[in-house]
Structure 1
């Protein structure tokens, strides 16, 4: 451990983790490693050391030739340098994967605008260029049956990957309270179908959170690296402000790493729709008792001053969907 680079502040502090409802006995045998590190900056040397540590501690194993889909958060071209996964984190992850012999595709499917446009605005396209990588859009929608009825179009590119390395930006979310690992996988739904899902399911939060969990469950093996070094608070998922939480966290289970972060922020299951949904499905990662922390502990981070977003309606107005499709078309034609 390079103590001059990575720090573990807060030992002995009097904050504590909130308990979750008692898990069924069979779930008490589960043990998800949530590898957290205090990372104060996005400097390359710092990130290289941190990424290597959290991947090792969270038991990520990549074999040569494995096809890995790197899935950053490329939510929107507006405020992209703050609202998307930091380019330095994504670049460091890609470098780590290349060093381990993986075949990489970096892709997302923003609801509005092509992924390449958001990547340019965020600086990700420029960061990946020296590695010979570019950002592409997730395409080829395959109907995914939903547990509450209906279907949604999930990308065949994502379904056919050997592994997805999910890199969410830790953010508040005006509609779902928090956006982290589970929510970021919604980006595997192709293009405007996400906006349509908001319109079709947004009248009922229970239907929407069930759909998000269905998408997460349908995807192939994932590993998750949460960019919470500069998290977003006050407003989200696009127009918020940065908050220095100084957190990088890795885990093989999206629900487990989300649970750890919800607890770190002092939230309870009844406040977070996706946490409620995970508990209702008896997902083991939704219970703190099923997690262990091989590096830093959630109580070692200080969320004082982290502010949640005002609540907003889930449903998108039809005019917003239409205008979004027009903007996407204009951006596509501009590239031709």
Structure 2
């Protein structure tokens, strides 16, 4: 049995057309939450810099919320950015304005609950994420200087609360495959997940903040994050050796980690032009240098008061 991944073409962020596309794509891909259920929408609100490109576009988040509300779901939007708070980053990228007329609550992940890791120890995952009935993860398709690609799987790492993410980089970043394994463990601990990828304007050359725009014109959806990321690596031409999360999924034999495991009921990777999409020339170490770690924590503290 193959795992279906659903691709749809959307060349721009024009709100009404985007809302129609999302309202067609999500139910076609099998995501229709029951009335009264609590759905957490988890965008990528990475940092209060270059938010027009580094964060999930507010129009995509709004379109997802409109669809969920039409299904009768109770909707919360939340994240734990690498720098600052969800509310601060959301304000800078224009998300509160995009959601202002909707009965949607925006939260910052703060309260943490320990989740066991497969190699021992625990990681603090936000209770706001663990307590949802389901999660709609809405990442932006970007290359990543440390992880090659940040998309469906990597976006779930944002459910780790606060500075625990930076500490995870430091503690596990130089210990073999532990850091990608940790992210896969976090994803496995979450409530039922569905994924809607904002690849209308992707980021290439560098990332997750400082890259360049790449007009791909893609929305993608699946309930299988590994398959979705494999499909997008195939589309963009990124090999497993440049994507540690894909490499770890392959090593674990996870469903969807092989391109031949995937089917495309709508459009396929060949229907999109990714010529010129550039990955990082080489990956940076996962563990930050001590000075970068300290300055990063100072920047994060400063961002909370912006």
TM-score by length of 2: 0.95
Runs of 5+ unmatched residues, structure 2 = none
User: What does 1:46-125 correspond to in 2, within 5 Å?
Assistant: 46-125=17-96
Aligned residues: CA RMSD: 1.6
Which residue of 1 is the match for residue 12 of structure 2?
41
Which residue of 1 is the match for residue 194 of structure 2?
223
Which residue of 2 is the match for residue 164 of structure 1?
135
Q: CA deviation at 1:312?
A: 1.4
Q: CA deviation at 1:205?
A: 4.9
Which residue of 2 is the match for residue 272 of structure 1?
243
Runs of 5+ unmatched residues, structure 1 = 1-28
Q: Which has the larger radius of gyration?
A: 1
37-46 or 181-190, which moves further after superposition? 37-46
Distance 1:271 1:318, change over 3 A: closer
Contact residue 148 and residue 279 of structure 2 kept, 8 A: yes
Q: CA deviation at 1:132?
A: 3.9
Distance across 2 between alignment mates of 1:325 and 1:97: 35
* SS, match of residue 200 in structure 2: strand
Which residue of 2 is the match for residue 14 of structure 1?
none
68-77 or 50-59, which moves further after superposition? 50-59
TM-score by length of 1: 0.87
Q: C-alpha deviations, 1:120-165, integer Å up to 9, x for none?
A: 1111121111214342111211112211222211111111110000
User: What does 1:324-335 correspond to in 2, within 5 Å?
Assistant: 324-332=296-304, 334=305
* SS, match of residue 259 in structure 1: helix
Which residue of 2 is the match for residue 259 of structure 1?
230
- Answer yes or no: is 1:182 the counterpart of 2:153: yes
Q: CA deviation at 1:317?
A: 3.1
Q: CA deviation at 1:331?
A: 4.6
